[in-house]
Amino acid sequence: MAADSKLHIAMFPWLAFGHIIPYLVLSKLIAQKGHKISFISTPRNIHRLPKLPPNLAPLINFVKLPLPQVDGLPEDAESTTDVPYDKVQYLKKAYDGLKDPITVFLETSRPDWLLYDFSPYWLPRIATSLGISNAFFSILLGAALCNAKPYSAIDDRTKPEDFTVPPKWITFPTKVVFRLFEISRIFDSVTANASEVSDSYRMEEVLRGCEMIAVRSSMEFEPEWLHLLEEIQGKPCIPVGMLPTTDYDTGEEIDTWSLIKQWLDNQGKGSVVYVAFGSEAKPSQIEITEIARVRVVWITILLGAEEASRLG
């Protein structure tokens, strides 16, 4: 690739590893094409990232921006995995404190493109004022993004029950809605929090201000949602694939994974079901008990009572 055709692309994910890791995977894929990446996060989060492959390390520069301290946020907390759910609102407030440092970085480094997450609602305007092409890279599917209010629409959803039916701008039949217990659990972030800015407003402003939308999805998986997203937001929507994790293999197996792998290798084909709750899920004891109860019920249904009893 000719030197003058290489791009400098800055990445700025939200402070959650369910967001940071997909941003890093996309960074690796872009770097494989010879482009330069500036990956922006906080020092502790960057320190916890997997090691880069030697061939990509020279192309990915980690930019460490210290996270401002705010009242209510535990010391050394830099990601959602460091705090209980009720403290995430203070993490958002601290994240907003990165506005000036990242502005300085953009002014001095002048990347060709900036990709950012849902949280920095103030960033599209800054990037545009500096003449930097920018895009919202969503780790959520198109179906989830379509539930966010388009800038031109009127959203009259004011209580949790309103989110259990599709919003009026979704133009085809769908069962993709919140269940009441789901939206009730996170409704405080939809409406307001300690940062004085709701997640809904953050998402709406980012969608309104970006030049294009990149989605961790594929046209094969949800074509109707991606087409609708492009239509209701009025800007290009680019699916970038599902981005499975590609950690650098150092040749040293972690003991825990080695034991899991050994157990999996000894199981029959089609006999194991993988269920993921997310890397930062913190189920209560009641929820853990319910998960275990459902597991026993399904094992009994699938294998029969005698075989289920044998497996314990």
Out of 4, 19, 47, 255, pick the active-site residue: 19
Out of 35, 82, 96, 117, pick the active-site residue: 117
Annotated catalytic residue 96: no
Say which residues have a Cβ less than 8 Å from residue 27's Cβ, sequence separation at least 6.
9, 11, 37, 39, 60
Annotated catalytic residue 162: no
Query: For the chain, what is the HEC assignment?
Result: CCHHHCCEEEEECCCCHHHHHHHHHHHHHHHCCCCEEEEEECHHHHHCCCCCCCCCHHHEEEEECCCCCCCCCCCCCCCHHHCCHHHHHHHHHHHHCCHHHHHHHHHHHCCCEEEECCCCCCHHHHHHHCCCEEEEEECCCHHHHCCCCCCCCCCCCCCHHHHHCCCCCCCCCCCCCCCHHHHHHHHHHHHCCCCCCCHHHHHHHHHHHCCEEEECCCCCCCHHHHHHHHHHHCCCEEECCCCCCCCCCCCCCCHHHHHHHHHHHCCCCCCCCCCCCCCCCCCCHHHHHHHHHHHHHHHHHHHCHHHHHHHC
Which residues are the active-site residues?
Answer: 19, 117
